[in-house]
Amino acid sequence: MIFYVYGTNDYLCREKLKELETGFINKKDQLGFNVVRLNADNLDYDRFTQEVLTIPFLSEKKLIIISNLIAETNANIKKIKEQIFDFIKNKEKDIDNNLLFIDVFEEIKKIPLRDSLFNYLKKQPYVWECYTPKGQQLTNWVSKYCQTKKIKINQQAINELIKLTGDELNQITLELNKLTAYKNGEMITAEDVKILVKAKFDDDIFKLTDALASRNKTLALKLITHQLLANEQPLSLLAKIASQFKILLKIKAELASNPQTTAKSLVDKFDFHPYVVQKNLNNAKNFSLEQLIAINNQFIEIEKQLKSGAKNPELLFDLLVIKNC
């Protein structure tokens, strides 16, 4: 069986992946021996076919997760992608294991609508599209999330939360967790949100981005320490930094394709706040596209370690700074 999760929202894609993986483990592989993860950046065709065709260990099936095979733009992956497409197209009836493809694209225009593998996967019975909700859809998403998690919050508080965080779903969920702990089961109000939630236009985060862009290691380390000493939760801090670098990556990609790109055109195209564009436009010029992609991948690894209970979060941030300054 083939599953496909794709879209432009990393949070929604990862949550759907987690849901499918957890469901598989609970139903088919309670010992957890038969979940295999393959990433496009180090994918080997022979390893792929071996994992797909070999029988599972003490289970009916394996779950093989293939990440960003289509979203990866590296030229070296093109041949492997073509080989994998031919393989699953011709051998689909012989594949007993479950294949779960997941692709997170930087933006909608980067989705390769004419790609053979993409169109093949889109035609499968189990496909989930994960795009960032906007406007009323975003409000509805937050309301539904709160209902699912049994979080007591009124509509004014939801509106205020969105006003301060924008459409960063990862930050929204982190802030809701913080508010829930603060209210201890009581109703969350707009005033609570104003007191506890920092606006997405956090000057310290912009200063940190500036420090990384200018390779000012000393200042960057100082700002990281300041944020953590101010009781900023590591995952929340990571979400804020990652949000800025995702914006930098989009701006850089746009500048690479059109050097005449203006701040206004970026605001119009990506629906960024003008202040955010103004703060990030110059910084984007201090990174190469490859550097920004690498840094965004580092955020994913740090998030995994933090969610796995890393004992020294500050060290992870310090290593991030040292590696990129």
Q: Are residues 18 and 90 in the same domain?
A: yes
Q: Are residues 165 and 246 in the same domain?
A: no
Strands (E), 47-133: 63-67, 98-104, 126-130
Q: Are residues 221 and 164 in the same domain?
A: no
Domain residues for the domain of 44 are 2-130
User: CA 301, CA 172: separation in Å to the nearest integer?
Assistant: 20
Q: Are residues 93 and 7 in the same domain?
A: yes
Place of tokens 């598989």: 24
Q: Are residues 155 and 112 in the same domain?
A: no
The band of 172, judged by pLDDT with boundaries at 50, 70 and 90, is: very high
Tens digit of each residue's pLDDT (9 = 90 or more) over 231-286: 778 888 898 889 889 989 999 998 888 888 888 888 878 877 777 788 888 888 88
Q: What angle do CA 64, 293, 70 make, to 5 degrees?
A: 40
Among residues 103, 130, 157, the one where a domain terminates is 130
pLDDT for the residue numbered 202: 63
Read off the CATH number of the domain in which 169 is found.
Answer: 1.10.8
187 Cβ partners below 8 Å, 6+ apart?
152, 153, 154
Is 201's pLDDT higher than 60?
Answer: no
User: CA 251, CA 269: separation in Å to the nearest integer?
Assistant: 10
Per mean pLDDT, which of 14-18, 168-172, 195-199 is the most reliable?
14-18
Q: Are residues 248 and 173 in the same domain?
A: no
Q: Are residues 20 and 33 in the same domain?
A: yes
pTM of the model: 0.64
Q: Are residues 288 and 261 in the same domain?
A: yes
Higher pLDDT, 33 or 137: 137
Lookup: tokens for 80? 């492997």
The band of 166, judged by pLDDT with boundaries at 50, 70 and 90, is: confident
pLDDT for the residue numbered 121: 96
Read off the CATH number of the domain in which 303 is found.
Answer: 1.20.272.10
Lookup: tokens for 134? 């906007």
Residue 2 has phi, psi (to 5 degrees) of -115, 130
Q: Are residues 109 and 19 in the same domain?
A: yes
Q: Are residues 191 and 252 in the same domain?
A: no
Q: Are residues 149 and 230 in the same domain?
A: no
Tens digit of each residue's pLDDT (9 = 90 or more) over 288-306: 999 999 999 999 999 989 8
Among residues 130, 157, 185, the one where a domain terminates is 130
pLDDT average, residue stretch 37-42: 89
Read off the CATH number of the domain in which 83 is found.
Answer: 3.40.50.300
Tens digit of each residue's pLDDT (9 = 90 or more) over 87-122: 999 988 888 899 999 999 988 888 999 999 999 999
Tens digit of each residue's pLDDT (9 = 90 or more) over 54-75: 888 877 889 999 999 999 877 7
Mean pLDDT of the chain: 89
pLDDT average, residue stretch 180-201: 86
Q: How many domains does the chain have?
A: 3
pLDDT for the residue numbered 271: 72
Among residues 98, 130, 162, the one where a domain terminates is 130
Q: Are residues 208 and 99 in the same domain?
A: no
User: CA 17, CA 14: separation in Å to the nearest integer?
Assistant: 5
Alpha-carbon dihedral sign for residues 286, 293, 243, 185 = negative
pLDDT average, residue stretch 23-31: 84
pLDDT for the residue numbered 199: 59
DSSP annotation of 198 reads P
